[in-house]
Chains A and B, each alone.
Chain A
């Protein structure tokens, strides 16, 4: 498996500390099939984690799992909870989330296969920073290559780290990777979300203060710990520093995982992957936001730019719809799939999501368009914010975005009183059970 390296190769002869801070790719181009020895030779030895919190604060790193929460605040919250536990001090736990529930995302597994030690380094650093004795990396049960890569990496490092590094294999499922579900799984063996508060930082795995960060976030912590915030900020924009991993798929010549500067133009990333004319671009995965071709041409991947279109880069998924597909049908497929991911715990999710999917399917087929549109809005509003986890919220967001962005297309269905020519065209969306093959570079 080769990795697309649109920005050229790193110069491996340079000592790690003096390596060009503006070079891309950064996270994913450590020596392929890396051994711990070659990894350490490449990146240099691991520091002790003592300066990590301060450097992370200065770096401006935000979580790369989707929510984009400032990582330094999470570290602070875990430290505060540990301090508040007083004499019966509850030692914190570090959890790296590599479950990658987003069907169209491949960046976490790519990272775990290509640079497992960078992720493990970040976990060791974070554990040292918050005083954790255990750090657990969680991956999905169906990721055989990822599990093999991590098992080998863990075997190589055995007893070299002060923290106990562990691997947990989580049952596959979209909501199983949600933060509270992961904590629930590690504490009690149930891979389903719980209500918050308490937040994992306050009371997580085994009731201990728990730092849960995405594996890409961990890999970034490994670099911030080694080279400091200033070096780390050498890539990306001032407001959105660092690099981000994008998984670009759909109507593109070279679908795959791309590492680009955070905050860079979406257009540039689409050009790298060879995107052609499109009916719409989904940014941020199935909790994400649809952009028209015109919007995609002028949007940046930074928070401020995407917020203008009501979106965020989320977990870095970018899907390009073919020009002649029906965007409403594609959206209905996703809505139906999301409705089947419910853990079945909360009424508004169990009832609301299938109702939303049904309304979207009516829109795709052009059946009673006005009423279906009213229903989709009504039920999205009704489900939003009323589950234990964010599945209803994410579904509502996705559906509202589809209705807004594809309003002109909706109008066509209304006038036709039926579907458009795009109905039934082959889907480019990744939905488990109907896999679309993804090439690497």
Chain B
């Protein structure tokens, strides 16, 4: 089934797996040929010259091939988009138009090509018209004087461009050859597994088709209302229903703090990772310490002092300093020959009961470390035993941060329709309360279903867990 045949899949196998779409060029060699991308992912283009700043922002590359077997990237210096020549033993002065005399005629010198020094790459000007066959004088706009007998290269500074998913090749493509759009690895990673999701735009369009119109409960609704409720629904679902797919691998620096991710809404779990790659949950230091929101400088009477702009002066937090310098073993109750131990019922060596602990506090009895959220500075702060440790931060966003986020798992698609439907009906005038209640229950039921589906409870896994519990589960 390599070819999309009217189902929901619109990409070929090759587009999906290899990120490549291949085209045949025209039967006659020509410039300005266009090729339309049919990837589900929109093409992103900033430049076709690898030397240009924007090139790395492209999410694809263009390749050409004479046989669809050996592929060459199409860049300004490619054989297809450039040619060489040498001017005669005469200096070519600045001017527009100016005849650039070549030693040998070259039919591959085309309009809009840039004239550059073949060795240094210095730009001399641009070609104004195609070099007529048999002619050696190239009509150019010369902006920098060309020394006599210089080896020149004529090239398309931008051999291809892209706009709105249509690639236009400025270079002259040979007749009946092949061209390929190849997505970059990053883009390919985003494409893989995308069938699991439905785009929010599709949800909105589907909703307007299926739920809105004459003879339906919602005869008419503004598209912006649907967009609002869809996005709000996606936000709400992101908090407690949808899978948490956001995570960052980070190393804790010397200052023991990390900036909260840009699209962060709440954390799921922070873990440090040991040498075997196994996660160990880092716990929040909720009741152990706190990052103060303000640290006003006080005078001797304890009154906050102000600066010349009438604002309170701030000092460095003493609490933060103490927390950063503490020894977490004193909190967790790990063996430590020390009297100063917080929050642990500990009997020390001098009490004659070495190694014995009484009344272990399970909340603090862990050695994975602590983290705390500094809301004022937008930081995660960590206990000192995590310095330079590798951690993984799992968190949730709201599904609206980036365009790629604006999608919902198909498992929760129906729940989102129900959410939009209920939200619109419950805020509309003249809808009977029993109808509102019906859709409230429907939304609730479908959301529950979505949660169960997305929790991925598989029978095999349950059986495996129960095997050491002296229970037999038949399946």
- Please determine whether chains A and B interact with each other in the same assembly: no
